[in-house]
Amino acid sequence: MSSSNKVIHKADSRGFAKHGWLDAAHSFSFANYYNQERMHFGALRVLNDDKIAAASGFGTHAHDNMEIITIPLKGTIQHKDSTGTEGVIAAGDVQVMSAGSGIAHSEFNASKSEELNLLQIWVIPNKKDTKPRYQQAGFSVDGRMNRFQPVATSDGREGSLEILQDAAISLANLDAGKELSYKISRPGNGVYLFVIEGELTVNGEQLSTRDAIGVSDTQELKLKAAKDTRVVALDVPMTLQ
């Protein structure tokens, strides 16, 4: 594999923003963080690691033509949007919002005392100006122990939420010493693997908490955990339609 088909993003190389109520780390260019070398990884446009103070959050704002996937890591989100959906998303849940022709929403930390930590992922869709829609579901930790558990896919396989792209987002929890393979979901896709917590080797590269590796032009990744590790795999088309 040539180096041009692999990118490594160490945790401390991300863009950081501190707003008092929000500490954000951006894997790709976002808001005031701009890095010409980090605009996207194929159809993956945004991976934000947000820590939101108690009783704080994002007021109503609009999006369009983006698949927005939110994964709470700690705490609960109070969600409200222009489709009339309102509810709470907790750690263990996953939310998908297809912004389509346009959607407005707000997201707040539902707790008055505990910090909220979430991953927000934006995937560029393969269809534009669709009717906005919202989904959320809970996923058992048992379903991702030493295996990849799909949580958002193009076809809703294994009970995953559906997104408008030939992509697959999966979570895995690896026990220390465990070896695991990840197979790319379809030809032409690459995978961006983000370490939520832990230490592991991916195709010979050592990664720690919040490090990431993006690999294209391959069919499989080989993982080995040095300690108990949680990861998310973002499997996306490398060429946009």
> Is 207 part of any domain?
yes
Q: How confident is the model at residue 240 (pLDDT cuts 50, 70, 90)?
A: confident
Q: Residue 223's pLDDT is what? A: 98
Report whether pLDDT(2) > 50: no
Report whether pLDDT(167) > 50: yes
**Of all helices (H) and strands (E), which one includes residue 63?**
strand 57-63
**Mind giving me the DSSP string for 5-25?**
GEEEE-GGGSEEEE-SSEEEE
Indicate the Cα dihedral angle 179, 234, 154, 66, nearest 10°.
170
> Is 1 part of any domain?
no
113: Cβ contacts below 8 Å, ≥ 6 apart: 54
> Is 176 part of any domain?
yes
Q: How confident is the model at residue 31 (pLDDT cuts 50, 70, 90)?
A: very high
Start-to-end C-alpha separation, the chain: 25
**What CATH code is carried by the domain that includes residue 216?**
2.60.120.10
Taking only the tens place, the pLDDT of each residue in 208-226 is 999 999 999 899 999 999 9
User: Tokens standing for 116?
Assistant: 């909220």
Taking only the tens place, the pLDDT of each residue in 76-133 is 999 999 999 998 999 999 999 999 999 999 999 999 999 999 999 999 999 999 999 9
> Is 169 part of any domain?
yes
Domains held by the chain: number:
1
> Is 221 part of any domain?
yes
Report whether pLDDT(4) > 80: no
Q: What is the mean pLDDT of residues 146-160?
A: 97
> Is 161 part of any domain?
yes
Residues 103, 135, 238: CA angle, nearest 5 degrees: 80
Q: Residue 69's pLDDT is what? A: 98
Domain region containing 182: 6-237
